[in-house]
Amino acid sequence: GEDVEQSLFLSVREGDSSVINCTYTDSSSTYLYWYKQEPGAGLQLLTYIFSNMDMKQDQRLTVLLNKKDKHLSLRIADTQTGDSAIYFCAESFSGNTPLVFGKGTRLSVIA
Q: For binding to other proteins (CB under 8 A), which residues are involved?
A: 8, 30-31, 33, 35, 40-45, 48, 50, 88, 92, 94, 96, 98-99, 101-104
CB nearer other proteins, residue 14 or residue 37: 37
CB nearer other proteins, residue 11 or residue 30: 30
Least distance to other proteins, CB of residue 98, Å: 5
Least distance to other proteins, CB of residue 49, Å: 10
Question: How many other CB atoms sit within 10 Å of the CB of residue 23?
Answer: 17
Count Cβ atoms within 10 A of the Cβ of residue 111 and give its class: 0-12 exposed, 13-18 middle, 19 or more buried.
Answer: exposed
CB nearer other proteins, residue 33 or residue 70: 33
Count Cβ atoms within 10 A of the Cβ of residue 26 and give its class: 0-12 exposed, 13-18 middle, 19 or more buried.
Answer: middle
Least distance to other proteins, CB of residue 5, Å: 10
**Beta carbons of 67 and 29 less than 8 angstroms apart:** no
